[in-house]
A and B are shown apart, each in its own frame.
Chain A
Amino acid sequence: MATAVMTTLDQRTRAASRGMSDISIRNLFIIPTILFLIVFNIFPLLYSLYYSFTDFRASTNAPANFVGLQNYRELLNDPFIWSNFAITAQYVIVSVTGQVLVGFGVAMLLNRDIPFKGLITTLLLLPMMLSMAVVGLFWKLLYDPSWGVINYALGLGNFEWLANPKMALYAVAITDIWMWSPFVMLLSLAGLSAVPKHLYEAAAIDRAGSFYTFFRITLPLVAPILMIAIIFRTMEAFKTFDLAYILTSQPTTEVISIRLYKMAFQEWQTGRSCALAYIVLIMVIAITNIYVKYLNKVKER
């Protein structure tokens, strides 16, 4: 297998004429990437794992003392941390559900012969291409209670979107839905157009109504690719930081990443924040694993 993957370098290529073998070309391409990964990903990962077992504070010169599992124990017993997790969960559920409903719905609308389909699809993808910070700043203006466009358009008067502690998290989620529904739409569109047309014809002949066809044919066949979109969006939403941080500073919108940021760079509890980062990492991996298990089950068909 491993030998079959590598093909021999064509003798006529320029690289070959410069006396480079396949191995040296492989090294040329792969070694920088691996080095980059080690320096910027793997080393910090291991280094922070070490710090998560210490009481290290990056703001002082005090040496790091090994404290064992104390950081983890304290974090997991801290009700405030759990309330951050609860906020995050609420945010993930609202935001991902919204994105799937909007994204899949728009994909269903686009999955037919309509004029300017390509142009419409491209325009709909624009929000996804913007920077998080820019989106955050824009929506802050849009949400403004006294002169924001949203209140004006919806006729809500001086409705407080971001200053209202009950509303703020939903406001952030709405922004996230606006920004990332196109991503779900794009993947759903790919999935929908991959459903063979003759299956719909067979279903029509079999006297299936449109709802029955949707739930028994369309949805199951798009499920694998929709699942991938959901995995991506869940992971991203779980780690969300920028949008919530820029839009509002309500305690009710303090998702786990913001707590982590504050702990690490405002309170300088470096060791403890490393431990929290690891807890978040393990949770994300666990959630993703559940999805991947389900995805594999769906893909078996």
Chain B
Amino acid sequence: MTQIELRGIQKFFGAVQVIKDLNLKIEDNEFIVLLGQSGCGKTTTLRAIAGLETIDEGDILIDGQAVQHLKCSDRDIAMVFQSFSLYPHMTVYENIAFPLRATRMSRSEVDKAVRGIAGVLRITDLLNRRPSALSGGDMQRVAIGRALVRRPKAMLMDEPIGALDAKLREEMRAEIKRLHLEQGSTTIYVTHDQVEAMSLADRIVIMHEGILQQVGSPSEVYSYPANLFVAQFVGSPVMNIAKAQVSEEAGSARVTVDGAEKGFAFPNELLGKIDRLKGANGSLALGIRPEGVMVEHQAREGFLPVEAQIIEPLGSYDIVDLKLGSQMLRARTRSGFVASAGDKVFARIDPTQAHFFDTKSGNSLGVRL
């Protein structure tokens, strides 16, 4: 049905370049999430696709047809705004009917379409209310209804649930996922919330300072971050990153974090892989997610003694800050595993979950053990 392709998009706001040579191909029926911090250019990209923003260079193709010079009304794309942008003087029914009436659809067809979509969104009993009398979640449902009712080629969503409270956000997230599965349309979704991105996306597009950092499925992005930015942006709690040295000690590989006396034991193949990347050892960073840090009460082979500093109990698990030399290492443990701050425990790193980055370029070295 609908493919969207971005080719070499450049966009300037005055002297500031907000989108830098963006290339992206979105397949039919795909749910794409643009993820990044505020000001990274994700919303501008979305608005450019919608036609609310012009681009300075490049092509936007919808179904193979260049649309960058078309008005938004000619692109047949629907959009859900962060602020909902419901028409305050119209009832819910009129709001949803607006895009249909604007194109002079017959009254009975409008009525059928509006009631149909209201049923799908479970807002049939709200149709006669005005937006001011709705809760945040219902306003969002209406906004989505207004976008879906005309069966657009693609749906664009600009932080559609960013303005809702945490509980409602979770509820609406599931709802959006359900709608996407039921209705099925190419969707581009902008958010700064990585949990939202992980749970909704078929593919996540991570942007930083106008530059595309990585495109991949949620698990790809999580397991194999392409660079330090992605590594630290995706995942909560944040991945541990520390400068490190790889060395050989008694015939086995050691990874010594800066500021620590001893190194973690790693499989020997690491040596060969690092050696192949000449000069990498001077500017190497080790990245490990908190769940990749294994903690034991007893000293064991390969484990280093560490001291627990801060314990954050999160219910199903604890996040423990471990002091390793002058470095801090965050570990995820069973809840209550480390009883109190100041306890001495032993930690090692799961080599299969370790990431190595070049600190100069920030890029991943692609070492997989």
Contacts and interface: CB of A to CB of B under 8 A. Distances in A.
A and B co-occur in one complex: yes
Interface of A: 196, 198-199, 201-209, 212, 216-217, 220-221, 301
25 contacts: A196-B83, A196-B85, A198-B81, A198-B83, A199-B85, A199-B87, A201-B85, A202-B81, A202-B85, A202-B146, A203-B98, A203-B102, A204-B51, A204-B71, A204-B73, A205-B51, A206-B98, A206-B102, A207-B99, A207-B102, A208-B73, A209-B73, A212-B102, A216-B98, A220-B89
Contacts of A216: 87, 98, 102
Interface in B65-114: 71-73, 76-79, 81, 83, 85, 87-89, 98-99, 102-103
A86 to B, nearest CB: 36
Given A198-B83, A217-B87, A221-B89, A205 B98 contact: no
Contacts of A301: 88-89, 130, 132
Given A212-B102, A301-B130, A207 B87 contact: no
Contact of B52 (A204, A206, A207, A217): A204
A199 B86 CA distance: 7
Given A198-B81, A216-B98, A301-B130, A205 B72 contact: yes
The SS class assigned to the B binding surface is loop
Please classify how large the interface on chain B is, using the bins under 10, 10 to 19, 20 to 34, 35 or more: 20 to 34
Interface of B: 50-52, 71-73, 76-79, 81, 83, 85, 87-89, 98-99, 102-103, 130, 132, 146, 150
B341 to A, nearest CB: 48
Contacts of B85: 196, 198-199, 201-202
Contacts of A198: 81, 83, 85
Interface of A is mostly: helix
Contact of A208 (B51, B83, B102): B102
Contacts of B99: 206-208
A209 B103 CA distance: 9
B102 A205 contact: no
A212 B89 CA distance: 15
A295 to B, nearest CB: 14
Contacts of B89: 220-221, 301
Given A199-B87, A216-B98, A207 B79 contact: no
Contacts of B102: 203, 206-209, 212, 216
Shortest beta-carbon contacts, A-B, top 10: A206-B99, A208-B102, A202-B85, A207-B73, A301-B89, A198-B85, A220-B89, A205-B79, A204-B72, A212-B102
Contacts of B79: 202, 205
A148 to B, nearest CB: 46
Contacts of A217: 87
